[in-house]
Amino acid sequence: MNRDVFITCAVTGSGQSHKKSDLVPVTPKQIAEACIEAANAGAAIAHVHVRDPQTGAPSRDPALYREVVERVRSSGTDVVLNLTAGMGGDIVLGSAEAPLPLSPQSDLIGASERLVHVEELLPEICTLDCGTMNFAEADYVMTNTPGTLRAMAARIQAAGVRPEIEVFDTGHLWLAKTLVDEGLIDDPVMIQLCMGIPYGAPADPNSLMAMVNNIPPGWVYSMFSIGRMQLPYVAQAALAGGNVRVGLEDNIWLDKGVLARNGDLVERAATILNAMGCRILGPQEVRDKLKLTRR
């Protein structure tokens, strides 16, 4: 069991949750305020996506990231910023019978373009989705090839940013080990186990522990599940030796029929952890643990 736990809050994500809850932040101002709210509730890390302010659709516009980061940094709130670098790896096939040409919903760009906002804004952490998978929808493939990941990892390393390796299945963990062995990711290695997302690793304890038991000694890991399994996974994470992620990216409910704010989910996670006898780490303790460079 891990008794010194840090909490990450994934404040908005890139899915359609904003159509199900008006508490999901959409504009840069709302997203920045959500990061501050999560930090005040006990989150050491805020994981950030951005959205089109008019439509709520996922975006990778560097100007939107810049506004979020500048608002958080100028607020005086101490929180570790973790910007996604997962956007731009989306392939949507035309149909089952005619996969080509690809659907206009596809968004597939090169490694350098996926990291423009990271290299400009230099967050302490950015994500590296370590693999390709069928991702819930009928003809959507989340695409992260070994070649693309090697190129991205090298640029992230050169920028002095810590990658959070997002692992959705056992093969992704294997690829993460390969990148570390090749010297493309520095110690301490940080991974996020992403459970219960169709069609990656299911959110059952056996699947989780199959990955936990294959994490090399010295790696720092967090984990989460989606929907109604998010809050039970707070306890599961600590029991499995890891750290915790909650937030509206992965779950919009606090209780049955009760929509959550990001701060609500962080507070509930803190309550669970405190009841288990855990100590919740603050941002500076996380920086020391992960050897982060604060800007």
pLDDT of residue 284: 97
| pLDDT mean over 67-94 | 96
| pLDDT mean over 24-43 | 98
pLDDT of residue 281: 98
Phi then psi for 8, rounded to 5 degrees?
A: -100, 140
- 240-275: per-residue pLDDT in tens? 999 999 999 999 999 999 999 999 999 999 999 999
267, two tokens: 């507070």
- pLDDT above 90: residue 215: yes
Tell me the CA distances in angstroms from 165 to 86, 107, 127, one per residue in order.
Answer: 11, 21, 6
| pLDDT mean over 88-114 | 93
In sequence order, the β-bridge partners of residue 192 are 166, 222
| pLDDT mean over 5-15 | 96
The rounded percent of the chain whose pLDDT value lies above 90 is 95
The CATH H-level (homologous superfamily) assignment of domain 4-290 is Aldolase class I (3.20.20.70)
pLDDT of residue 100: 94
pLDDT of residue 107: 92
Give the residue from 64, 42, 44, 47 showing the smallest Cα distance to 13. 47
| pLDDT mean over 86-114 | 93
Q: Is 265 exposed, middle or buried (0-12, 13-18, 19+ CB in 10 A)?
A: buried
**CB contact set of 290 (below 8 Å; sequence gap of 6+):** 125, 162, 188, 190, 220
Cα-based angle 69, 46, 39 (whole degrees, multiple of 5): 100
pLDDT of residue 158: 97
| Separation between Cα atoms, residue 7 and residue 253, nearest integer Å | 18
**CB contact set of 144 (below 8 Å; sequence gap of 6+):** 89, 129, 130, 131, 132
pLDDT of residue 45: 98
Phi then psi for 190, rounded to 5 degrees?
A: -120, 125
The rounded percent of the chain whose pLDDT value lies above 70 is 100
Q: Is 163 exposed, middle or buried (0-12, 13-18, 19+ CB in 10 A)?
A: buried
Average pLDDT, the chain: 96
| Separation between Cα atoms, residue 14 and residue 145, nearest integer Å | 21
Give the residue from 124, 50, 92, 132 showing the smallest Cα distance to 294. 124
- 133-171: per-residue pLDDT in tens? 998 778 999 999 999 999 999 999 999 999 999 999 999
pLDDT of residue 156: 98
Amino acid at 215: I
Cβ atoms of residues 155 and 186 within 8 Å? no
pLDDT of residue 138: 81
pLDDT of residue 232: 96
| pLDDT mean over 69-75 | 98
Q: Concatenated DSSP letters for 151-186? A: HHHHHHHHHTPEEEEEE-SHHHHHHHHHHHHTTSSP
